[in-house]
Structure 1
Amino acid sequence: MLLDMKSKFPTAQEYSSQKAHYAAMTVVDIRSKQAGITDSYKNQVLFNINQECMRLSVFEGEYRWHY
């Protein structure tokens, strides 16, 4: 099961280099964005805020770092 889970997730490099989906100061309905996700795992950068980013993460079942 662990090998299967690894194939579904981005590598550390892919995870840290994700681009923001929206420009700063864009108004986004986060609840509707979350409701539209049908994948069992989705982690995306919504905005860059100063030197940080705001992510939307959705997952079902076991999470690879929580076992």
Structure 2
Amino acid sequence: MIEERRLDERLVELTPRSPALGRTIPVALLTPRGWDRRRPDDDWPTLYPLAGGDGDHTIWTGVFRV
């Protein structure tokens, strides 16, 4: 089961279990406008920015938020 916590209109924090790490990990999901009206067959463009160095899952949504 994935925990989901809505932080604001477009930002959702997910906490899935990672079998590779053996624990849960937080993931920030910045949703496009209209996400709340999505249908199961909708396709959405996806970008996977990864934190490097000393960053965590909030680095891209905290610094580069639009």
User: What TM-score bracket applies, with the shorter chain setting the length?
Assistant: under 0.3
Q: Which has the higher helix share?
A: 1
TM normalised by structure 2 equals 0.25
Q: Bigger relative contact order, structure 1 or 2, given CA contacts below 8 A and separation 6+?
A: 1
TM normalised by structure 1 equals 0.25
